[in-house]
């Protein structure tokens, strides 16, 4: 299945201040997520940002907030983004069925969101280098499970070029600068 920018939106799941320092390879994760978000903005792909219990886990980390241009964060208490009425309403209002998923933790909120998206018939695109957990093994097992339910597993750079579709444009030049 080809991924198309006009049929896609992105979900940035719970990349928050108090949990982030404990995430495996967190600095690389932040850099890849920021790069992907900037690329998605160039491609005009809408972005939804969630925060799991921000009173306890803090706000979304600053680099992500800056990259999404201060897109409002939707607070949730359920692990799955689809369990939140407000997030679910935003997802349905998008009327787009290719959901690009990035965030933490891979084996909890990301996994449960992807399971629910798939159950709803949505195409879940999990960006492997833009998700993580505290432990590498938890991420690995979560990716296996998401793949088993039909999620598409990809990388940030691969996804951006697939959504871009063609070279030789100003948009291509902008994306190329981001991935270098």
pLDDT by residue (tens digit) across 117-163?
999 999 999 999 999 999 999 999 999 999 999 999 999 999 999 99
Catalytic residue among 109, 116, 129, 130: 109
- d(CA 140, CA 120) in angstroms, rounded, equals 24
Q: What is the pTM of this model?
A: 0.95
Residue-range domains of the chain with CATH = 5-179 (3.40.50.850)
81 catalytic residue (yes or no): no
- d(CA 75, CA 68) in angstroms, rounded, equals 16
65 catalytic residue (yes or no): no
CB 47 within 8 A of CB 74: no
Residue 176 CA to its chain's centroid (Å): 20
109 catalytic residue (yes or no): yes
- Three-state secondary structure call for residue 79: coil
Spatial CB neighbours of 27, under 8 Å, sequence gap ≥ 6 = none
Tell the residue number behind the tokens 């949730």, with chain if given.
76
Catalytic residue among 73, 76, 82, 116: 76
Task: Decide if pLDDT at 116 tops 90.
Answer: yes
**Mean pLDDT for the stretch of residues 74-90:** 93
């Amino acid at each position: 299945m080809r991924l198309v920018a006009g049929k896609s939106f992105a979900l940035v799941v719970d990349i928050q201040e108090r949990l982030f320092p404990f995430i495996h390879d967190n600095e690389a994760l932040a850099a890849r997520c920021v790069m992907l978000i900037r690329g998605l903005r160039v491609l005009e792909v809408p972005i939804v940002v969630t925060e799991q219990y921000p009173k306890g886990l803090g706000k979304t980390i600053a680099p992500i907030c800056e990259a999404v241009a201060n897109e409002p964060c939707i607070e949730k208490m359920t692990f799955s983004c689809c369990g939140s009425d407000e997030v679910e309403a935003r997802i349905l209002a998008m009327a787009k069925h290719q959901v690009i998923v990035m965030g933490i933790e891979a084996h909890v909120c990301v996994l449960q969101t992807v399971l629910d998206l798939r159950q709803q018939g949505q195409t879940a695109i999990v960006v492997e280098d833009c998700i993580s957990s505290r432990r590498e093994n938890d991420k690995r097992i979560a990716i296996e499970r998401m793949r088993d339910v039909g999620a598409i597993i990809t990388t940030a750079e691969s996804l951006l070029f697939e959504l871009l579709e063609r070279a030789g444009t100003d948009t291509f030049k902008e994306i190329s600068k981001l991935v270098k």
